[in-house]
């Protein structure tokens, strides 16, 4: 009996060409596995394509709710944003994909998992760290790094290879943006984006929405409620998280929300330029933070910001299945207890504008914050506080003055 390999299959040209390549070079029984994280119409026609290319079986695994509840939500609650801009759309999906690939490998008694990630990107790291953490015994095959066996260097090469193996597929050699899509976002790389000096061609590039210039001239109001850090309703309607994100994507896309142009630092050491569309995610993270401003104290907010940056780094580097991620997530979850309330805002030409926040756990005191004197605050107390708070500064200044005097 032939050994089985589980191929992370997207249905694109790369992973389609990998199927006959695996059979020819390793004599594997190829089982394709497409993980549905919300790619939408990209999944159409996959089964026929996989079988035509020589796969013995195709799994299409819908993990949208698991992705939202167990991977997206912890990152939203942490405020995890990589390098101040990237909302981790691709990064968050890779560990849950790796987890399901391992589960299918166990079910099929496979000996290896193959992915189509390139040798220059982050995804190879994310996939492989996930697989190593969950199934250290499984072999990992990365064709793009096996340059002695994988000799194809272009789309033309891959198309020709497929034709030589009797696979006539609806792909052409014309180059387009390199994209990754799931429920949370879509990323764009390539073409004019490869030169940071070029302005993105948003008319051709955008998929989930429009540019702010083309958004409606009238603001759109949105109301959300949260319970213990978990989004519960959108505009008065109770929904599960995947439904909320889906609806926010429509609202945000229509209003030009969540378009990010970034030159980021990849894990492998190079800089890369890409455009991310994250309309619903941008709104959701802003709403979460808007409520946290009201209910979290200053010291907790400071530490939470550090933990958010750490969480972003962990997820970006593919270290989801680690004790560190579990510890950071445990801290974040512990402070979500009182993140309950209602958030209102309006969307207008790429902007999310506050329109009011309420919470039964609000730490905001109108009597304290107003310019009139409240019962809890005596202005005279500020004098002693400032004296002690500024004491190190005063002592240092006196020392410097004394040294200057003695010169």
Annotated catalytic residue within 14, 29, 36, 180: 14
Q: Is 231 exposed, middle or buried (0-12, 13-18, 19+ CB in 10 A)?
A: buried
One-character DSSP codes across 316-369: HTT--SSHHHHHHHHHHHHT-TT--EEEEEEEETTEEEEEEEE-TT----HHHH
Active site residue 178: yes
Other beta carbons within 10 angstroms of residue 19's beta carbon come to: 27
Contact 336, 77 (CB under 8 A): yes
Angstrom distances, CA of residue 292 to CA of 57, 356, 360: 47, 13, 12
Active site residue 94: yes
User: Cα torsion for 190, 192, 193, 197, to the nearest 10°?
Assistant: 150
The DSSP call for residue 192 is G
The candidate with the shortest Cα–Cα distance to 222, out of 204, 238, 234, 208, is: 234
Active site residue 27: no
Distance CA 324, CA 329 (A): 8
Q: 3-class SS at 376?
A: coil
Annotated catalytic residue within 56, 178, 242, 272: 178
Contact 225, 342 (CB under 8 A): yes
Angstrom distances, CA of residue 232 to CA of 140, 223, 242, 280, 330: 40, 11, 11, 15, 21
Annotated catalytic residue within 10, 49, 53, 94: 94
Other beta carbons within 10 angstroms of residue 44's beta carbon come to: 11
- Tokens coding 7: 């191929």
Active site residue 123: yes
Annotated catalytic residue within 123, 126, 187, 359: 123
* Residues involved in catalysis: 14, 94, 123, 178
């Amino acid at each position: 009996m032939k050994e089985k390999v589980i191929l992370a299959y997207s249905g694109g040209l790369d992973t389609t060409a990998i199927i006959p390549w695996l059979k020819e070079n390793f004599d594997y029984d190829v089982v394709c596995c497409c993980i549905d994280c919300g790619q939408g119409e990209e999944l159409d026609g996959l089964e026929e394509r996989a079988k035509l290319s020589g796969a013995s079986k195709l799994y299409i695994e819908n993990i949208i709710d698991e992705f939202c509840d167990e991977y997206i939500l912890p990152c939203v609650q942490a405020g995890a944003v990589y390098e101040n801009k990237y909302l981790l759309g691709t990064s968050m999906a890779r560990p849950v994909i790796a987890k399901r690939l391992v589960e299918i490998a166990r079910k099929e008694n496979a000996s290896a998992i193959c992915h189509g990630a390139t040798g220059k990107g982050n995804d190879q790291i994310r996939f492989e760290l996930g697989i190593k953490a969950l199934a250290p015994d499984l072999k990992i095959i990365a064709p793009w790094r096996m340059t002695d066996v994988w000799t194809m260097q272009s789309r033309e090469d891959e198309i020709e290879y497929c034709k030589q193996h009797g696979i006539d597929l609806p792909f052409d050699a014309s180059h387009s943006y390199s994209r990754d899509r799931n429920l949370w976002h879509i990323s764009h790389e390539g073409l004019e984006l490869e030169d940071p000096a070029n302005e993105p061609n948003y008319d051709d590039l955008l998929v989930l929405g429009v540019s702010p210039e083309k958004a409606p001239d009238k603001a759109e109001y949105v109301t959300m409620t949260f319970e213990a850090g978990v989004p519960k309703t959108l505009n008065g309607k109770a929904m599960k998280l995947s439904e909320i994100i889906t609806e926010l994507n429509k609202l945000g896309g229509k209003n030009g929300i969540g378009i990010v142009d970034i030159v980021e630092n990849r894990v492998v050491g190079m800089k890369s330029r890409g455009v991310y569309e994250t309309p619903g995610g941008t709104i959701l993270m802003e709403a979460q933070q808007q409520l946290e401003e009201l209910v979290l104290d200053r010291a907790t907010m400071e530490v939470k910001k550090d933990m958010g940056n750490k969480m972003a780094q962990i997820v970006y580097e593919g270290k989801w299945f680690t004790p560190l991620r579990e510890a950071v997530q445990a801290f974040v979850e512990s402070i979500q207890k009182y993140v309950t309330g209602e958030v209102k805002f309006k969307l207008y030409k790429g902007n999310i504008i506050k329109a009011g926040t309420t919470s039964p756990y609000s730490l905001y005191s109108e009597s304290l914050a107003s310019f009139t004197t409240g019962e809890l605050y005596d202005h005279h107390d500020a004098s002693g506080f400032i004296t002690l708070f500024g004491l190190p500064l005063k002592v240092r200044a006196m020392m410097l003055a004394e040294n200057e005097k003695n010169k």
